Structure formats: C-alpha cells, structure tokens
Structure 1
Amino acid sequence: MKKLTDRLKYLNILYAEDDDVVRKNTAKIFDLLCNKVFQADNGKDALQLFKTEQIHIVILDYSMPVLDGAKVAKEIRKIDKTVPIFITSSHTEKEKLLSVIGLNLVSYLEKPIDYNALMDSLKKSVTILEENSRITLPLCEGVTYNYLNKSLLIDDRVEPLSKNEVAFLELLIQKKGSIVSNEEIEDTIFAKLTDLNTLRNMVYRLRKKIGTENNIILTIKDIGYRLEIQ
C-alpha cells in the first residue's frame, strides 16, 4: 500500500460524475491520495480537461450529460492509447458493458463505489503507467528518469533537475532518436535564447548529472541534439 500511495501523490486524476454529492465526496478521497483532482460534471467538460491538463488516470461515470462516459473514453482513446481509464455506473446492464469492450479499460465499477475496489483499480492504473514507462523511463544502465518527481534515479541516489533540464530532457524523450533543433528547443524551453552558450551550459550540466560516460545526449553540430536510448 505504501508503494501505491507514494506513486499516487504525484499523479493527477480526471474525475467526471454528474451527481454533485457523489462527485464531491469521492473527490475528497482522491484529494488525500493524489496530487490534483480535475472534476467535471459532464462528458464534454471532461474531454476538454483531458486535452488541456496533464492527466494520469481517468475516472468516468457512464451516464453523464452531453457525452456519456463510453463516448468520452472512445474520444480519449483516439488521443491516448494507454492512459488508465475506468468507468463507474449505478447499473451493470450487459449493453453498457458491451459498449466499452475494446477500450482497454482498467475496470468497470458499480456505484456506490466500494473503497477496496477503488483502491484496487488505482493500483492497476499505476501498474499500467509503470508498464508503459509513464512513471519511470530507463535512460541507460543505472540511470532512470522519473516523470512524476522530475528527477533522475542514479543507482539508489535521487538527482534533482532544474525546470529547464526537465523540459529539455522530456522534449528529447518525446522525440527520441530524432534530431531536435536548437530553434525548437528555444521555442519550447526558453522565452528567448540570445546565446547558444546558455543551452550548451545546460546540456553540459545535464550530461554531468547523467554521467559523462553515458553518451546518450548527442550534439548534432550547428543543428541541435538527439537522445539515443533503447
């Protein structure tokens, strides 16, 4: 349980439920467990929140105004194939269960939600995030990047990263194996990069933290950088 709570405290949850009492009471549990809870009382707002916020786990009521939970889940799956999603409902009619087959859901929970069943679904969600390298990503032997606390784990030592180092590394991870131009790095990380030495110095510090013997951040002369990891 401690490992689960240690993971959850960094995660953001999207919770969509049109019953105000149920949503507010359940959100109190999430507030105690997670980093942030984004609430919606209809499917349209839930989908918009998913598109604009950093969401790690999605919890959708099946019956909601505008868009029901199944339709929201289908739209989310077009955007993100692996984010953990589970659906809640006051009923368990076969047609409802059949309509969500193929959406790769974590679970389907009947309301009122049992606390143990909820925790089990959250545990499964964390496992899915881990299996899809959405919590940690091995960069090279002995060095792992933690997406949640934005740090490097080097053997058993935690190495903190600056805001710009995090943005730079995550940009390279997102496009690993491809060249990321200096211009794109400037647009993504720096409001205005007047001197390339600022970028070079940041890269030098990051390489030193990763270990200079681990040549995974490659300089493409006069163009940009590329990350080479398995």
Structure 2
Amino acid sequence: MNNIKVLLAEDEASLGMIVKESLETRNFTVFHAENGKIALEKYQKEKPDILVLDVMMPIKDGFTLAKEIRAENKHIPIIFLTAKSQTSDVLEGFNNGGNDYLKKPFSMEELIVRIKALLNRIELKTDTENIKIGNYLFNLTKQTLTFSEEEQQLTHREAQLLFYLFEKKNEVLDRTFILNKLWGNDDFFNARSMDVFISKLRKKLNQDENIQIINVRGFGYKLIC
C-alpha cells in the first residue's frame, strides 16, 4: 500500500520529526502539524487519507480537532496518540470520532500496522451495495445502513466490522481474528475499543427486533438475523 497521505498532529517536535521521517522512508506522504489549529488547516488543504492525532496539544487538543473534522467527514480514519491509558480517556477518544488508540511510547511497526489495518479495503465476494440484514439494507461501499428509507451513516470501522459479522451471520466471529484484522492486535485497549463499536452497531440495528449481536463469552460475537 503506497502513497498513503498521513496528517500527523504532534506538538513534541522531535517525536513528530522521527515519526514523519520513519513513515516517509516507507513511502508514506506525511503532513506534520505542531498544534490542532495548524492541523485543521492542513487537513482542509491536503485532504489526507488518515489522521494520526496527539491528544494533548496546544491551541486545539486532539479530541476537539477530531470532533470538528468528524462533523464534516464521517469516514476518514483517526488514530489517537497519547500517554493517557485510563479507560475513560479511551472511551472519550472513541466518542469524539476516533477509530484507534495508540499509547506512547509506541513502535513505528505498530503504528504502520494500525494505519494499514484502518485503510485496508475488504476484498469482497458479494454485492456490497445491497446487503440485506433483517429489514435493513447495508451498503458497504457507501458505509450506510437503511431502515424504512431512514439512512444512517457508518464510520469506516463500523462498516468493516458489520460486514465481517454479516459474513459469519448466525455463527461466531472469532474475537482474536477480528481484533488482529481491524485493530492490528488483540491487546486490552483494542478489545475495549471493539466492545464500544459493537455497542454502537447494536444501537444502529435496534429497529429490527429480530436482529441481535450477542457476546459469546471467551470466543467472540454472533450476528443473529
């Protein structure tokens, strides 16, 4: 996967330069900003493929920046970089539109795996624009979920997760497999992130009482429809 455009918002100049140069040696194009205000300007100008945002930045923090960008772009993947590790901070990041969460210090290999996992396009063997899930119509290409002409927009990861659940409908979707496929690894924070995304999908599918996403403890999740 070449020529991926990354917007990196990191106020620590030395870390920002290291990450930028490391990604560029691997054929990424990187736009570095040292605060949230500049990052927003570069986002609007450069139209990156993915955002890597430090949480604690001057002028405009990463959560605020993500929330503003999400208001106009529901699809672009967002990874938060932070020294914070409390569950409440993780949840705040996802509630503000984040797709992934990487704790400092981190390895470049881990960051690259997470970037590629978010941008990886599912190789499909079905019609991605007319997937029936109960009384819903799921369009993976457009990342929409429609019920009685009422359309909901899904995020990139919500759409991917729902598709994998659909592919294994009425069977167990292995927890470790999906964590490694969509999040890059199966550590505690990624598992917590997936639980949040499952909860969001349950809410978006709750208009059809015949649809359930159940937790098969110790194994994974099952979409029943």
TM-score, L = length of structure 1? 0.50
SS at match of 1:112: coil
User: Does residue 1:99 correspond to 2:92, yes or no?
Assistant: yes
1:121 to 111, 114, 123: 114
Deviation at 1:104, TM superposition (A): 4.5
User: Does residue 1:55 correspond to 2:48, yes or no?
Assistant: yes
1:86 to 62, 68, 79: 79
Cα separation, 2, equivalents of 1:41 and 1:103: 20
Larger Rg: 1
**Structure 2 match to 1:29:** 22
| 5+ residue gaps, structure 2 | 123-127, 129-225
Cα separation, 2, equivalents of 1:126 and 1:63: 25
- Judge conservation of contact 2:79–2:102 (CA < 8 Å) in 1: yes
Cα separation, 1, equivalents of 2:26 and 2:119: 13
2:101 to 108, 115, 137: 108
Question: What is the letter of the counterpart of residue 55 of structure 2?
Answer: Y
Deviation at 1:96, TM superposition (A): 1.8
Quote the sequence identity (%): 28
Deviation at 1:57, TM superposition (A): 0.9
Question: What is the letter of the counterpart of residue 111 of structure 2?
Answer: L
4+ aligned runs moved over 4 Å, structure 1: none
SS at match of 1:64: coil
User: Does residue 1:75 correspond to 2:68, yes or no?
Assistant: yes
**Structure 1 match to 2:12:** 19
User: Counterparts in 2 of 1:1-230, with a 5 A limit?
Assistant: 7=1, 9-127=2-120, 130=121
Answer with 116-125 or 24-33: which moved more: 116-125
SS at match of 2:95: coil
SS at match of 2:85: coil
Cα deviation digits, residues 145-204 of structure 1 (max 9, x gap): xxxxxxxxxxxxxxxxxxxxxxxxxxxxxxxxxxxxxxxxxxxxxxxxxxxxxxxxxxxx
- Judge conservation of contact 1:13–1:34 (CA < 8 Å) in 2: no
Cα separation, 1, equivalents of 2:12 and 2:3: 27
Question: What is the letter of the counterpart of residue 76 of structure 2?
Answer: V
**Structure 2 match to 1:209:** none
SS at match of 1:81: coil
Question: What is the letter of the counterpart of residue 29 of structure 1?
Answer: S
SS at match of 1:14: strand
Q: How many residues align?
A: 123
